[in-house]
Amino acid sequence: MAHPLQLGFQDAASPVMEELLHFHDHALMIVFMISALVLYIIIAMVSTKLTNKHILDSQEIEIIWTVLPAAILVMIALPSLRILYLMDEINNPHLTIKAMGHQWYWSYEYTDYEELSFDSYMIPTQDLAPGQFRLLEVDHRMVVPVEAPVRVLVSAEDVLHSWTVPSLGVKMDAVPGRLNQTAFITSRSGVYYGQCSEICGANHSFMPIVVEVVPLQHFENWSSTLLESA
């Protein structure tokens, strides 16, 4: 969960998000080095005779400013492709959940269970209990077991939506008539918040996402209770 005056990302709650944070720091250091080098060259050109004709026509300089950017691109591309394939890999998920975007709420269907589905609406401000977050809390959370591969099938019934949970490193567009899929593995129990990240209409900011990660035994008790009451 984000907190006031936070400068960085939310704490990672999945292995993929941890990789994304490492890649962000890796790319940011490269950007800092490039910025420092360019700043040094600008200062040197202004304050010295670095603009000498022989230096500008130097073959060595031509080679450096051709090879160096290519090497930098490779340093960024290789870890980026690794994470991209890691995010796309879905091997034997323990649980499959279908998330449907509506104007303006989410509905969830646990496809491995019969008749286990529900709608998830944002709780109005006047109905919030002490400790609940305004514009983020919902009446029915999406509950998943900890350390279990979960596949999420994402679609929409009306307009474009986007199912996004930053702490889990998940962001997938919900497109009407199309079924997209994403996957995640949670590394610890907790409650993780997200919001629709596509401008989907007047109440775009009022369709939050809440993923509650619990131990397997708690998940089985929760699903059994929900099925009995259906």
Number of domains in the chain: 2
3-state helix, strand, coil in the chain (%, to 5): 40, 25, 35
One domain for residues 108 and 60: no
pLDDT of residue 172: 93
Q: Residue 182: how many CA atoms within 13 Å on its side-chain side?
A: 18
- Give the confidence band of 55 by pLDDT, cuts at 50, 70, 90: low
Residues 61 and 101 in one domain: no
Give yes or no: residues 67 and 102 share one domain: no
| The pairing of beta strand 170-174 with beta strand 95-102 | unpaired
Residue 56 placed within a domain: yes
DSSP state string for 91-160 = -S-SEEEEEEEETTEEEEEETTSTT-EEEE-BPPGGGPPTTPPTTT-BSS-EEEETT--EEEEEEESSS-
Determine the average pLDDT of the residues in 201-205.
90
Q: Where a domain ends, among 88, 112, 138?
A: 88
Per-residue pLDDT reduced to its tens digit, 96-147: 999 999 999 999 999 988 889 999 999 999 999 998 899 999 999 999 999 9
- Domain check: are 100 and 75 in the same one? no
Of the three residues 88, 119, 138, the one that is the final residue of a domain is 88
Question: Which residues share a beta bridge with 213?
Answer: 144, 190
Enumerate the β-bridge partners of residue 90: none
The model's pLDDT over 155-178, given as tens digits with 9 standing for 90+, comes to 999 999 999 999 999 999 999 999
Boundaries of domain holding 65: 15-88
Per-residue pLDDT, 138: 96
Specify whether 143 is located in the same domain as 204. yes
Question: Does residue 202 surpass a pLDDT of 80?
Answer: yes
**CATH code (residue 212):** 2.60.40.420
The separation between CA 89 and the C-alpha centre of its own chain, rounded to angstroms, equals 15
Q: Which of 54, 88, 122 finishes a domain?
A: 88
